[in-house]
């Protein structure tokens, strides 16, 4: 996020340097334009160096912001993958431990049907699976919520990157006042429009990145808490199921 906040300062420094370079060459430009048609002079001054600088500054800002957006997307996906891996490991280990006891008990009861005539391997396994799913239900719901919030956080950041890329064109359009009014930007010309637009967009981008960072921190903390609770519930379920099955086998021996 610090890199994002630096966008505006980099742009302003670059802009100031370029303006100084343009001003230092004003005399030589004036002498040259005396022998050039006035229309060509206007086009060179208005659409030449200044327009090129604005494009360069915009590209610089977009590149930095786009890299920040890409890093955010990677962090969001990495966090989601980590939580999903933990959930899968928890359920896999629990089912593996119970499956051994279930298979052993099934062999004993099938060989001695009089021990428990109501025994049904498929039904019992489904019931155990449902109970285990209940242990991880809150964690699963948290994952689903995080998917949506992560996508929204990324979309918010990417929208500012898109605004930054479109800003030079918007500032040069005849309807730029209408387009920028919702952002609260006033301007004297397209150049000041660009600088003020960058300032507003950069502030919004920094806020969006801050909110995304808070989401990542909050999600990781919640995931740890929910994973611990799910693990405790799973351990209790495994102990209960294996003990029940042990008793079933003992009664049939």
**pLDDT above 80 (res 92):** yes
Selected residue with higher pLDDT from 189 and 99: 99
- Take residue 29 and report the two structure tokens written for it: 């430009």
**pLDDT above 80 (res 41):** no
Cβ contact 226:132 at 8 Å = no
User: Which of 31-35, 92-96, 113-117 is predicted with the least confidence, judged by mean pLDDT?
Assistant: 31-35
Q: What is the pLDDT of residue 54?
A: 63
pLDDT tens track for 219-238: 999 999 999 999 999 999 99
Cβ contact 101:124 at 8 Å = no
DSSP string, 187-216: -SSHHHHHHHHHHHHHHHHHHHHHHHHHHH
Host H or E run for residue 227: helix 190-251
3-state secondary structure 14-81: HHHHHHHHHHHCHHHHHHHHCCCCHHHHHHHHHHCHHHHHHHHHHHHHHHHHHHHHHHHHHHHHHHHH
pTM of the predicted structure, to 2 decimals: 0.73
- Dihedral over Cα of 91, 94, 100, 101: its sign: negative
pLDDT tens track for 177-222: 555 556 655 555 556 777 788 888 889 999 999 999 999 999 999 9
How many whole angstroms separate alpha carbon 16 and alpha carbon 214?
A: 35
């Amino acid at each position: 996020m610090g890199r994002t906040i630096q966008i505006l300062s980099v742009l302003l420094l670059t802009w100031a340097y370029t303006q100084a370079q343009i001003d230092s060459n004003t005399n030589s430009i004036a002498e040259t334009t005396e022998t050039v048609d006035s229309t060509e002079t206007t086009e060179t001054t208005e659409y030449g160096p200044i327009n090129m600088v604005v494009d360069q500054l915009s590209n610089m800002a977009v590149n930095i912001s786009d890299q920040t957006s890409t890093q955010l997307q990677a962090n969001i996906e990495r966090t989601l993958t980590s939580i999903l891996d933990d959930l899968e490991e928890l359920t896999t280990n629990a089912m593996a431990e119970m499956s051994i006891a279930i298979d052993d008990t099934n062999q004993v009861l099938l060989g001695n049907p009089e021990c428990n005539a109501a025994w049904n391997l498929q039904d019992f396994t489904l019931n155990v699976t449902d109970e285990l799913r209940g242990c991880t239900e809150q964690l699963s719901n948290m994952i689903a919520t995080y998917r949506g919030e992560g996508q929204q956080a990324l979309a918010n950041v990417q929208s500012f990157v898109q605004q930054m890329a479109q800003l030079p064109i918007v500032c040069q359009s005849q309807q730029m006042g209408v387009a920028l009014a919702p952002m609260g930007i006033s301007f004297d010309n397209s150049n000041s429009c660009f600088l003020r637009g960058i300032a507003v967009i950069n502030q919004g981008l920094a806020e969006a990145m801050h909110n995304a960072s808070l989401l990542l921190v909050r999600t990781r903390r919640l995931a740890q808490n929910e994973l611990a609770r799910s693990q405790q519930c799973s351990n209790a379920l495994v102990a209960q199921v294996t003990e029940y099955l042990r008793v079933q086998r003992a009664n049939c021996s």
